[in-house]
A and B are shown apart, each in its own frame.
Chain A
């Protein structure tokens, strides 16, 4: 067993897209481990706390009139008329990877175990060894067209501090309303429409003393973990899909094992979008977005070994931890195929919890019938009395409902 390290350097990241065309940053064997650094794409919401003094973060976010370290941000066009910038922000997450697993082929299942997860400290002397994250209430949030206070609509960024003393908790530091920001290329961003734009704090008004006396238990997790899909060369990181991606389930934390169907040779696993905490639904559009490091173990399950295991017939992401199995229902189980060539745009107007619930129901039924060998009638009775359906997120275009089943139900024999 080898243990690798993958720092978040410019060569090891890609921003806003999954792609089968990128060269792997790391190639390892089934059973190997890797420590992978991730940096949040919201770090520039407060440069002083989340970037300043951190050599890697500074490198990734470097963007001047003459230099932009990470040129493409998103799966959109990178030349011609650009409204927001290269890649058009069609996909926003700063991902580390991809990691290729030797011998992984379409039809196999890749298991990724999260062995540990911990935050990345601030290296600015002023905030040394403290941890900060950002929670924008953004234009893609559930609330944006349903606000009651003025001005409407508006985007508000709230900066949080994560306190790792036990039990770990999160509390708000200050907030500000987004004001139009001009990037070094001269493009104005009236809303949060492109990732990594530096927020000039002289243009915003900070509100201190907010969410006073409120302390939120931490739920450290990675919002985005997934493999490269096979259907297109560049796929936005925003909608989660059959190879995983932007799942935004806070249960993807230490002790969780994710199973992904492999779509391309090597699998090509990428991770990022770390969160200090999040509620089921991720209502405002983001969680408490923070930079974190994870330790992962990779286990490849070859297609021929799947029959008779819980992975038999798996064509969607599934999570397992000590207590539950979870399957993920989406508005569209594979939106890239289902919505045709214009899927990147179509998915935005087709979000629905009702569809996601249908999908979760079907996936859990298949799991109970296929894996646990129950009849359909047994599966349905069991789902009604023992399976819990929760709202995963209503902000990632392809909305999610999680169906979970406690493992203890089956322990008895």
Chain B
């Protein structure tokens, strides 16, 4: 069937008939969008495709060898003869502009990392959030020091002239800070590049005109505030303020010292301040007070005493600081801080999963929260490697689990070789929903969940700060919730290899609770991170519901036992959990109202599987266990049960395999936020595939069942690279099935072209006729769509 409506495009064309600058071919092609995403291409084809898409921006990459192997993407929209907007994610490399005979300007806005531009006699740094405008008449080198995200645009002379702006040639690049009109323009470009794929032709046309008008006005009206090629007084003053900013903490700071550092006389410096309507002393005090005000409420330093904040901002005397602070802001610092947090609490109440983006920014600045002592953990091999068996049993205990995060810095709890079999015990983090049924009497579970006023066996739960300085929920902040057994070190596994995890068998963990010995229980929580949470229709709204299930493995089914609404629980450390915001908080059954019976006469067929199978990520931070990504993790696909395998790309030496989040049953979607979470033990065979042709290309978790290949698409396949350091927070805000579908489509196309040697046209026809796309989950931050291709399709010959 067909559904292309040609009519709308004719409609658009009619509107455009009187506009002289829209090429007819662009209209005929419909939405004029071009894109590159590394995931679409086999490795050997990426270089060429990358070069082609960069050429659209008059750029070429000069250090391209390894750049396209990691995550990179470009989306472009627009007409080269007018304006082209693009959004670019690229790993460290140099981009060189190709000189254009027609006059073209390029604008670059790095999103969260600084970049630098080099020309014949000039080197200019462009800090994140600033705009750089280049005339593309000579080769500029744009250095990306690390993986960066950029908003870029090109704008043609022809378009500028149509807007009535004469051409003002300028030799040196111009840099704009986000102030005044430049700020409006920068934000417009950033926002536009974020929404390129969502713009209709009509919307695009008005954006194009609007952006061009804004650009011209900005060029004409605003000063280039920092043009280091011709350092005038303004640039010099700017430099002085930066010097001051870096030394605010130094209580000995004097005008003389600053002048020396800036290489000018003290008198000239004072004069510069006067020209800006300021005095040095007043300026310095104001900056220190502002800094202190921010520091008082920064998550990373909320536990610092006020006096320490004062010292860290260069105030030598706390009493003096208190007085000045009150004069300036109306409240003494202590009162200001508590007022701020009480207001924040009122504003709050909105649940936040994962890192809040603001906290991540300050985390980067402070870098004090990471308690990984990476030096001491360099040697990640377990101590005893003398006995090398082929069969291993990994018991679950507080000492063999990590809770809520992945990290390449973890010390392995077991070393195995390729081909070995390992029986791994796993516990569900939801056992505490009914401790009596799922923990009591089970010494291992009691060990892992042990939490009294005096001692918490597994303190860190999640990738958050260990001092819980963001929300105060508990160590690790519950930014990640899964109890993972491991990591397991696989001998000889190196980055670039692939580890195959075969699930040979799996069985639920029997209850040891007196009176319930040998029975099997699990929990399903309809939690605040569930898909349904914000649109409940029955009272009380919102609410979280825990349903406890009994599992009957012999009959292959599960039945609901009872349910209760979550009521605020106080953990043994005295922290109140109004919602299910921290894992492993033991639920006091006397505080909840039990509903019984529930789901009467309903019997759910079980689909035992492991929600989490992960290798250590390549990033050095602790990584939240909730969003799945290239390294595997919280895949939540019920096809990952007995008889299936998952192939995972290796990022760290030894791979570092962790397993957890066992599920007795789950539907495609995992709508309420959880499955039937039930402790289980699995028997796995682990096979290491050294870099070779068949797996060279694998950059994502690939599931194999006896009959099918299941490819995993995500909203953001490599969210840690795509969003940079803010990824751990941002991925929760930007998940979408539409994006996950795109990723699944691209991965399947690559799979069919690369692994089955089909042409693109064959791959697409086959996908339409025989590949099934389904919703994996809509609750794990990074939403998933999987694509299933039956192996039997290829068995004819």
Please tell me the number of chain A residues within 8 Å of chain B, measured between CB atoms.
109
CB nearest neighbor in B for A224: B1
B524: Cβ under 8 A from any A Cβ: yes
A364 CA / B578 CA spacing, docked (Å): 29
B171: Cβ under 8 A from any A Cβ: no
Q: Decide: A147 near B760, CB < 8 A? Known: A282-B768, A385-B604.
A: yes
Name the one of B675, B764, B772 contacting A284, with C-beta atoms under 8 angstroms: B764
How near does chain A come to B755, taking the closest CB pair, in angstroms? 13
Name the one of B6, B598, B604, B670 contacting A84, with C-beta atoms under 8 angstroms: B6
Contact B769 A192 (CB under 8 A): no
A193: Cβ under 8 A from any B Cβ: yes
Contact A354 B792 (CB under 8 A): no
Contact A146 B745 (CB under 8 A): yes
The A217-243 residues at the B interface (CB cut-off 8 A) are 217, 223-224, 236-239
Name the one of A148, A288, A409 contacting B603, with C-beta atoms under 8 angstroms: A409
Kindly list chain A residues whose C-beta atoms are within 8 Å of the C-beta of B1: 41, 92-93, 223-224, 237-238, 246, 248, 273, 285-287, 289, 396
Residue among B8, B762, B769 with most chain A CB within 10 A: B769
How near does chain B come to A15, taking the closest CB pair, in angstroms? 12
A266 CA / B10 CA spacing, docked (Å): 36
Contact B769 A170 (CB under 8 A): yes
Contact with B along A179-202 (1 / 0, CB 8 A): 000000000001111110000000
CB nearest neighbor in B for A412: B603
A321: Cβ under 8 A from any B Cβ: no
A64: Cβ under 8 A from any B Cβ: no
Q: Is the interface of B mostly helix, strand, loop or mixed?
A: mixed
Name the one of B671, B764, B774, B790 contacting A361, with C-beta atoms under 8 angstroms: B671
A41 CA / B45 CA spacing, docked (Å): 38
Contact A213 B775 (CB under 8 A): no
Name the one of B738, B745, B759 contacting A210, with C-beta atoms under 8 angstroms: B759
Name the one of B604, B764, B797 contacting A137, with C-beta atoms under 8 angstroms: B764
A384 CA / B45 CA spacing, docked (Å): 41
A217 CA / B766 CA spacing, docked (Å): 12
B767: Cβ under 8 A from any A Cβ: yes
Residue among B7, B11, B49, B599 with most chain A CB within 10 A: B7
B537: Cβ under 8 A from any A Cβ: yes
A389 CA / B769 CA spacing, docked (Å): 19
How near does chain A come to B204, taking the closest CB pair, in angstroms? 12
Kindly list chain A residues whose C-beta atoms are within 8 Å of the C-beta of B672: 380-381, 383-385
Contact with A along B343-385 (1 / 0, CB 8 A): 0000000000000000000000000000000000000000000
Contact B768 A149 (CB under 8 A): no
Name the one of A172, A194, A285, A390 contacting B775, with C-beta atoms under 8 angstroms: A390
B746: Cβ under 8 A from any A Cβ: yes
A148 CA / B526 CA spacing, docked (Å): 42
Contact B794 A385 (CB under 8 A): no
Contact A384 B765 (CB under 8 A): no
Contact with B along A244-282 (1 / 0, CB 8 A): 001010000000000000000000000001000111111
A232 CA / B687 CA spacing, docked (Å): 61
Contact B667 A384 (CB under 8 A): yes
Kindly list chain A residues whose C-beta atoms are within 8 Å of the C-beta of B41: 148
Kindly list chain A residues whose C-beta atoms are within 8 Å of the C-beta of B603: 408-409, 411-412
Q: Decide: A214 near B775, CB < 8 A? Known: A381-B545, A396-B3.
A: no
B673: Cβ under 8 A from any A Cβ: yes
Kindly list chain B residues whose C-beta atoms are within 8 Å of the C-beta of A344: 5, 7
A185 CA / B32 CA spacing, docked (Å): 30
How near does chain A come to B556, taking the closest CB pair, in angstroms? 11
Interface residue stretch chosen among A18-26, A29-37, A110-118, A345-353: A345-353
Contact B796 A214 (CB under 8 A): yes
Contact B738 A381 (CB under 8 A): no
Kindly list chain A residues whose C-beta atoms are within 8 Å of the C-beta of B200: 349
A294: Cβ under 8 A from any B Cβ: no
Q: Decide: A145 near B30, CB < 8 A? Known: A215-B793, A283-B767.
A: yes
A142: Cβ under 8 A from any B Cβ: yes
Contact B601 A384 (CB under 8 A): no
Kindly list chain A residues whose C-beta atoms are within 8 Å of the C-beta of B671: 361, 380, 383-384, 387, 389
Contact B524 A381 (CB under 8 A): yes
A395: Cβ under 8 A from any B Cβ: yes
Contact B772 A279 (CB under 8 A): yes
Kindly list chain B residues whose C-beta atoms are within 8 Å of the C-beta of A412: 601-603
CB nearest neighbor in A for B663: A385
The A370-391 residues at the B interface (CB cut-off 8 A) are 374-378, 380-391
How near does chain B come to A6, taking the closest CB pair, in angstroms? 20
A413: Cβ under 8 A from any B Cβ: yes
Contact B765 A215 (CB under 8 A): no
Contact B538 A153 (CB under 8 A): no
Contact A380 B760 (CB under 8 A): no
A397: Cβ under 8 A from any B Cβ: yes
Name the one of A90, A139, A390 contacting B668, with C-beta atoms under 8 angstroms: A390
Residue among B200, B605, B762 with most chain A CB within 10 A: B762
A84 CA / B774 CA spacing, docked (Å): 35
A136: Cβ under 8 A from any B Cβ: yes
Q: Decide: A283 near B764, CB < 8 A? Known: A378-B599, A409-B602.
A: yes
Kindly list chain B residues whose C-beta atoms are within 8 Å of the C-beta of A195: 2
Kindly list chain B residues whose C-beta atoms are within 8 Å of the C-beta of A357: 531, 669, 737, 775, 778
A92 CA / B28 CA spacing, docked (Å): 20
A394: Cβ under 8 A from any B Cβ: yes
Contact A83 B7 (CB under 8 A): yes
B761: Cβ under 8 A from any A Cβ: yes
B172: Cβ under 8 A from any A Cβ: no
Q: Decide: A238 near B667, CB < 8 A? Known: A158-B761, A278-B769, A279-B773.
A: no
A281 CA / B740 CA spacing, docked (Å): 13
Q: Decide: A213 near B2, CB < 8 A? Known: A282-B768, A283-B764, A353-B737.
A: no
Name the one of A142, A210, A353, A401 contacting B762, with C-beta atoms under 8 angstroms: A210
A336: Cβ under 8 A from any B Cβ: no
Q: Decide: A143 near B745, CB < 8 A? Known: A92-B2, A381-B563.
A: yes
Residue among B2, B560, B769 with most chain A CB within 10 A: B2
A390 CA / B598 CA spacing, docked (Å): 27
CB nearest neighbor in A for B199: A349
Name the one of A158, A213, A236 contacting B765, with C-beta atoms under 8 angstroms: A158
Contact A216 B793 (CB under 8 A): yes
A302: Cβ under 8 A from any B Cβ: no
Name the one of B667, B760, B774 contacting A385, with C-beta atoms under 8 angstroms: B667
Contact B669 A387 (CB under 8 A): yes
The B657-692 residues at the A interface (CB cut-off 8 A) are 665-676
B92: Cβ under 8 A from any A Cβ: no
A293: Cβ under 8 A from any B Cβ: no
Q: Decide: A410 near B601, CB < 8 A? Known: A214-B766, A354-B736.
A: yes
Contact A193 B667 (CB under 8 A): no
How near does chain B come to A192, taking the closest CB pair, in angstroms? 6
Contact A284 B40 (CB under 8 A): no
Contact A279 B765 (CB under 8 A): no
A246 CA / B2 CA spacing, docked (Å): 10
Kindly list chain A residues whose C-beta atoms are within 8 Å of the C-beta of B758: 211
Contact B35 A286 (CB under 8 A): no
Kindly list chain B residues whose C-beta atoms are within 8 Å of the C-beta of A90: 5, 7
Q: Please, could you name 11 A-B residue pairs with CB atoms under 8 Å apart, sorted by A?
A: A84-B10, A89-B4, A89-B5, A138-B2, A146-B742, A193-B4, A239-B3, A378-B563, A381-B599, A382-B602, A384-B524
18 more CB-based (< 8 A) A-B contacts, given A216-B793, A374-B599, A397-B5: A143-B745, A148-B760, A170-B769, A213-B797, A215-B793, A217-B790, A273-B1, A279-B767, A279-B768, A279-B772, A284-B768, A353-B738, A376-B538, A377-B547, A380-B545, A381-B526, A383-B667, A384-B667
Which residues of chain B have a CB within 8 Å of any CB of chain A? 1-8, 10-11, 28-31, 33, 35, 40-41, 45, 49, 200, 524, 526, 530-532, 535-538, 543, 545, 547, 549, 558, 560, 563, 595, 598-599, 601-605, 665-676, 736-738, 741-742, 745-746, 749, 758-762, 764-775, 778, 785, 790, 792-797
Closest 6 CB pairs of A and B: A140-B4, A384-B672, A284-B768, A193-B6, A238-B3, A280-B772
